[in-house]
Amino acid sequence: MSQLATWRTGSTRVLPGFGLSMGISVLFISLVLLLPITGLFGQLAGLSFAEYWAIITEGRVVASYMVTIGAAAVAAIINAIFGLLLAWVLVRYEFPGKRLLDALMDLPFALPTAVAGITLATLYASSGWMGQLLEPLGFQVAYTWVGIALAMAFTSIPFVVRTVQPVLEDLPAEVDEAAMSLGATDGVAFRRVILPHIWPALVTGTGLAFVRSLGEFGAIIFIAGNMPYETEITALMIFVKLQEYDYAGASAIASVVLFVSLALLLAINVWQGRFVRRLHGGKG
């Protein structure tokens, strides 16, 4: 009885506004996130499982999974390496233009992806600046999966930089100094002291970049060339279905992307939670 009263008046909480802010948050999440997802599943209701399976395992669609996952994996690995390097440079050194470089890191987030796509396509087309240089050497970037990976890397690099950066800032320079005073070479200090510390953040950032790449559309279609079975990405397959007014088919493919993304995000979260617990001495 009294418990109910305190719960209702909220008198045990010092911070005011819980009811209102929580209510608005839940409403917002419902409208913006849950409602569209429900709509997606609503579309699927019109399909039998056999039809659903047929759509998502059609040869051209499966080929698009391969292209998307392969290119996203390559992009994620590139981002893991260069994102780490960029975060390192931004945290550990002082140089003129540091703030500008830091601000530039967010550009892929801010720039409409279609703008990025068009820019990359013109640059790497055989008549573009980069294309002209690379083509004679036998590298074709535009209209191949390399171009897809490049566009993916461009749009998702901030994920790695922005997740690793705060963790690196949190690692005091004293820790590398301690390692070196104990006789560790630079390589050993990095491998045994710095890398284990930033590893969870690096994996999370890379995972996020990978998931982001799986769903990227705007930046890729201009540079991909979109040849069936070769350079079509899954997002494009959804788009094609939509243009044919096949909403159920589009939803079916979309649900695959959604499940894979959700499963990956969940896995990253669980894994990271376990790692962080160890770092804080098993106290959560």
Partner 1 sequence: MSIRLHNIAKHFGNTQALEPINLDIHEGELVGLLGPSGSGKTTLLRIIAGLENADRTTQPGKILFGDRDVTNVHVRDRRIGFVFQHYALFRHMSVYDNVAFGLTVLSRKRRPSSGEIRARVFRLLEMVKLEHLANRYPAQLSGGQQQRVSLARALAVEPEVLLLDEPFGALDAKVRQELRRWLRHLHDELNFTSVFVTHDQEEALELSDRVVVMSNGRIEQIDTPDELYRTPANRFVFEFLGDVNHLEGKVSNGVLTCGDAYWHVDLPDGHEELLLRPHEVRLTEQPTSESHLPVTITAISPVGAEVRVELEADWLAQPWLATVRHTDFEHLALRRGQRLFAHPRHWRRFPKVTEKTTEQTRVA
Residue 8 vs 280, nearer CB to partner 1: 280
Angstrom distance (rounded) from CA 42 to CA 46: 8
Amino acid at 271: W
175 sits near partner 1 (criterion: CB under 8 A): yes
Stretch that binds partner 1, among 136-144, 189-197, 205-213, 225-233 (CB under 8 A): 189-197
Numbers of helices and strands, H then E, in the chain: 16, 0
Stretch that binds partner 1, among 128-136, 186-194, 221-229, 264-272 (CB under 8 A): 186-194
Determine the size of the site formed for partner 1 (CB under 8 A). 23
Stretch that binds partner 1, among 85-93, 116-124, 169-177, 207-215 (CB under 8 A): 169-177
274 sits near partner 1 (criterion: CB under 8 A): no
177 sits near partner 1 (criterion: CB under 8 A): yes
Choose which of 134, 184, 248, 264 interacts with partner 1 (CB under 8 A).
184
278 sits near partner 1 (criterion: CB under 8 A): yes
193 sits near partner 1 (criterion: CB under 8 A): yes
Q: In this structure, are residues 68 and 233 in contact, taking their beta carbons and an 8 Å threshold?
A: yes
Stretch that binds partner 1, among 13-21, 23-31, 37-45, 180-188 (CB under 8 A): 180-188
How far is C-alpha 229 from the geometric centre of its chain's CA atoms? 24
Angstrom distance (rounded) from CA 164 to CA 86: 10
The 85-124 contact track toward partner 1, x by CB under 8 A, reads: ----------------------------------------
280 sits near partner 1 (criterion: CB under 8 A): yes
Choose which of 104, 182, 266, 267 interacts with partner 1 (CB under 8 A).
182
Residue 16 vs 172, nearer CB to partner 1: 172
Work out whether the CA dihedral 153, 156, 157, 160 comes out positive or negative.
negative
Q: In this structure, are residues 55 and 255 in contact, taking their beta carbons and an 8 Å threshold?
A: no
Strand, helix or coil for residue 264: helix
- Backbone torsions φ then ψ of 112, nearest 5 degrees: -60, 135
Angstrom distance (rounded) from CA 59 to CA 253: 13
Stretch that binds partner 1, among 40-48, 64-72, 225-233, 275-283 (CB under 8 A): 275-283
Establish how many alpha carbons lie within 13 A of residue 251's alpha carbon, considering only the half-sphere containing its beta carbon. 18
Cα dist from 107 to 142, 170, 224, 277, whole Å: 22, 24, 22, 33
Q: In this structure, are residues 169 and 102 in contact, taking their beta carbons and an 8 Å threshold?
A: no
Angstrom distance (rounded) from CA 143 to CA 166: 37
180 sits near partner 1 (criterion: CB under 8 A): yes
188 sits near partner 1 (criterion: CB under 8 A): yes
The residues of the shown chain that bind partner 1, judged by CB under 8 A, are 172, 174-175, 177-185, 188, 192-193, 196-197, 278-283
